[in-house]
Amino acid sequence: MSLQVFGLPVSRGVAIGRAVLVASSRIDVAHYFIDPVDVPAEISRLRLARKQVSGELEDLKRDLPPNAQTEILALLDVHLMLLHDEALAEATCAWIVERHYNAEWAMAAQLEVVARQFDEMEDEYLRERKADLEQVAERVLRALGDPSNGSAITERVGARDFGGEDPLVLVANDISPADMLQFKGSVFTGFITDVGGKNSHTAIVARSLDIPAVVGARDASRLIRQDDWVIIDGDAGLVIVEPSSIVLEEYRFRQRQIQVERERLTRLRHKPAVTLDGERVELLANIELPGDGVAALAGGAEGVGLFRSEFLFMNRDGALPDEEEQYQAYRDAVTIMQGLPVTIRTVDIGSDKPLDRMSVHELRHEHTLNPAMGLRAIRWSLSDPAMFEVQLRAILRAASHGPVRLLVPMLTHLSEIRATFDALRRVRAQLMRESIPHGSVEIGAMVEVPAAALTMPIFLRYFDFVSIGTNDLIQYTLAIDRAEEAVAHLYDPWHPAVLRLIADTISQAHAAGKGISVCGEMAGDIEFTELLLGLGLRSFSMHPAQIPAIKQRILRSDSKRLRAYAAAVMSSDEPRSVGKDVSVAGAKVDAGEQVQKTPREAA
């Protein structure tokens, strides 16, 4: 039977595929596809794990004291019976053989299927046996995680298409930003999560991957079953489960239309972004990994406006990348960009991007009452000088291969600015003493905290350029945790206070003759293109996939007319209503007539 699930639209487009559920578990489960040649080895891993658990349970039975209650013995017998159930074992192996899931994923997927069967049983005693099944499955999962259990395949190969013939969509309670990166170029054509906000980092990475996504869909992972056909309408925030043939064909037609439009926009790749009145606009790319530079060039980017270096630090079981590894990554990004500038942001760890292990000053993310306000970004870097200097050395060395700009996140205090420049001076001196080739870099500051925007004259005296991170700026200005569902509706880029901070920062940077860009989500949102142009912004940085649509909007805009439009938006009590009324077609409506009156003036 077809059903609809509603959530928050976070990444546009349409995805159609079979559901792949990442089941919740009390222990971490690795999810990756294996090479077909490794199927026998993965099945062998599963069998060895079952044999190991069987031995553990038999040992427990043997070691029971003579006066032990018979219920305990019966419980162990039930667990052994479930463990040796050949139907359950064969069904688990089928996930490995047919879908090329790794053994842990196969076990978790089959557990999800059987657990639902238990839930539907009328007999209360049988329903309660689900807990026994879960305990046995988790024992097997722990055994699979034991390095002594065969030759475990640890490399995640999600970017390789071993998922079968049908397209797949991922369904989970939640997905971390680091895990999202596993899906680049993978078999997943879209994803759905039960939790999450429209501007959480998970949602942002989804947009950067340019795949349709819906978050905050509440009970999606409970209502959707393994292998269900699912449609994700990323524009409406709608998930259709087991659609009718008519609905399926309608959405396939929409998919084809979207693809045709994207192909049309790619023709703008080599066309300069110039407004109708001759204003040149710089379009840069946000990237997470060095190889993303290929997509940046393909999208027509004029450089990298934000290289999020923290993603080099994730999914590493707590082992931080050393200087050589970082240097090679930054060098690769610089080389790929073929002489175009690359802006590398120093590691922005914390909040919803924690590491597995946080240096000598360990960041206990799960125990931090308000991680967004805690030890993160430059605060963490300055708390661990050795780690920070390793990153700075790697960046300066990479600068010998091409133009590099250094961007420092979440600065608020003059003391932090001075400490950052002191660290740079020490690193330069070290490299010179060691005769290691390195280059000079422009140094910029992220403006993502209201304190930075309000003390812009100090920042402009020290830095060569500034870049506005609108995601965090909105979060901190409005005191809204953008990853928190309960307050996500209050996260408002159109809020007058947010727009005033952005406008003032742009104005002051221009007055000081310093470079200014926006690298947050607003830069890649066509809803804000005209407003930012009208405020004087001439440098946008966004995911490569967003560049063509933004370029098209710029080519159709007249910056002189947009100044009046921006003034109307800025003077309104409700900027959103004014912005949406006149932003279409380059603000052809007389913006001067759109200024709203206060209730007193209207009276």
Helix (H) or strand (E) holding 445: strand 442-447
Contact in structure between 23 and 112 (CB atoms under 8 Å): yes
Consult the annotation and say whether 384 binds a ligand. Answer: no
Q: Which two structure tokens, joined as six digits, stand for 188?
A: 């997943």
For Cα atoms 480, 481, 487, give the angle at the middle one, nearest 5 degrees.
65
Consult the annotation and say whether 464 binds a ligand. Answer: no
CA 525 remoteness from chain centre:
16
d(CA 306, CA 404): 11
Catalytic choice (100, 438, 519, 543)? 519
d(CA 262, CA 13): 11
Amino acid letter, 463: F
d(CA 543, CA 519): 9
Q: Are strands 14-22 and 404-408 parallel, antiparallel or unpaired?
A: unpaired
Give 242's contacts (C-beta < 8 A, 6+ positions apart).
Answer: 1, 2, 3, 228, 229, 230
As beta bridge partners, residue 285 has 304, 542
d(CA 475, CA 469): 10
Catalytic choice (79, 201, 365, 438)? 201
d(CA 106, CA 80): 20
Q: Would residue 350 be called left, alpha or beta, if left means φ above 0 and alpha means ψ between -120 and 50 degrees?
A: left
Examine the residue annotation and report whether 201 is marked as an active-site residue of this protein: yes
Compute the chain's Rg from CA coordinates.
27
Consult the annotation and say whether 472 binds a ligand. Answer: yes
Examine the residue annotation and report whether 93 is marked as an active-site residue of this protein: no
Consult the annotation and say whether 357 binds a ligand. Answer: no
d(CA 530, CA 41): 56
Consult the annotation and say whether 280 binds a ligand. Answer: no
Consult the annotation and say whether 331 binds a ligand. Answer: no
Give 440's contacts (C-beta < 8 A, 6+ positions apart).
Answer: 399
**Which positions are catalytic?**
201, 519
Give the annotated binding-site residues. 308, 345, 448, 471-472, 482
Please enumerate, by residue number, every residue annotated as part of a binding site for Mg(2+): 448, 472
Q: Where is the binding site for phosphoenolpyruvate, in residues?
A: 308, 345, 471-472, 482
